[in-house]
Structure 1
Amino acid sequence: MNNQKHGMPALISLFIPGLGQMIKGDFFKGIMIWVFGGLTAVFLMWTIIVPLIIYVWNVYDAYNSN
């Protein structure tokens, strides 16, 4: 497997959620992560579980998506 194809977008998504998907060319998914993740963080800030799940999924998806 090519590290540039999987590892770098996942590493970037650790710091800026959605940017890893955009680097891989999936702009719609990256923007939806920004919008949905931002709204979730604002409306569900009282719980850490849901935003954390979205954050972890973001990094996982940046690593595993084609």
Structure 2
Amino acid sequence: MGAVISQLGFNQPFLLALAAIVVLLALTVAAVGHDNNEIVRDYVPIPQIRILPTSTSPPPVPPRKNM
């Protein structure tokens, strides 16, 4: 089999690495590719943090320097 692959211009370690990459990519797509609506229905958004107004005014803006 190595001689046939070599005639095509590929060596065996390259093809084994390429096959491993394709298998890992397929496993990744299978793991994250599902669309489960139950997870979306059970999702509870985190409430946004509100910044309450303070009783003091903000500090004045410093003047710009002329160049």
Superposition TM-score, scaled by structure 2 size = 0.31
Q: Which has the higher helix share?
A: 1
Tell me which structure has the larger Cα radius of gyration: 2
